Amino acid sequence: MDSMPLIGDKFPEMKVQTTHGVMELPKAFAGKWFILFSHPADFTPVCTTEFYAFQKRYPEFRKLNTELIGLSVDQVFSHIKWAQWIEENLHEKIEFPIIADDGNVSKTLGLIHPGKGTNTVRAVFFVDPKGIIRAILYYPQELGRNFDEFLRMIKAFQISDQHGVAMPANWPENELFGSDVIVPPADSEAVAEERKSQEGCLDWWLCHKKI
């Protein structure tokens, strides 16, 4: 691949070595959402807090038909020992797989940003059940991620796909509409005229409703 994949692209097919054995992506998660997230290195403070946070929310992700898979440019034995340390010292067993990348996955996904060093940045890929990349987030090494936001995003994607709607800022706690969703824009003059008098419409192009 000449360039890193973008939102709307098919997630690149790849065979990866993980703490759960060899896996083929995105095939291994066919029919499910999955979040692939990279971290700079094992046995580092911020990354440890992130893995703990992800594992604490793993049951919630699974209820949303969503799997998790981590990644860094560390060998598999390092991942295993680090996961053991987390279980022994923080009392949380890491149940999701972690990719031991030799650099090829990071190169394909654009996870190493030279301006931030030779380790992988904190990247996050959201992939839907059809293997399509729906969102990509990047964080610098010094900033830990907000994992409740990832749950919010998965919930929002699933509601959007099911009902054909969009989410306002800070959904489901939007300052204007609360937990309501945004109705797609009018696609004709007739519909635009109807919406001027509809409940939940501030104007023909700004309508909200409950789901």
- Catalytically active residues are 47
Structure tokens at 167: 């989410």
Q: What is residue 20's three-state secondary structure? A: coil
Instruction: Compute the C-alpha angle 118/50/138, nearest 5°.
Output: 50
**Token pair listed for 95:** 């149940």
Structure tokens at 50: 């992130």
Distance CA 134, CA 11 (A): 10
Cβ atoms of residues 67 and 131 within 8 Å? no
CA distance 112 to 122: 9
SS3 10: strand
Taking the C-alpha atoms of residue 203 and residue 192, their distance in angstroms, rounded to an integer, is: 9
Structural tokens at position 140: 């610098």
Question: Which of these, 105, 147, 132, 128, lies nearest to 18 by C-alpha position?
Answer: 105
Are the C-beta atoms of residues 101 and 119 closer than 8 Å to each other?
Answer: no
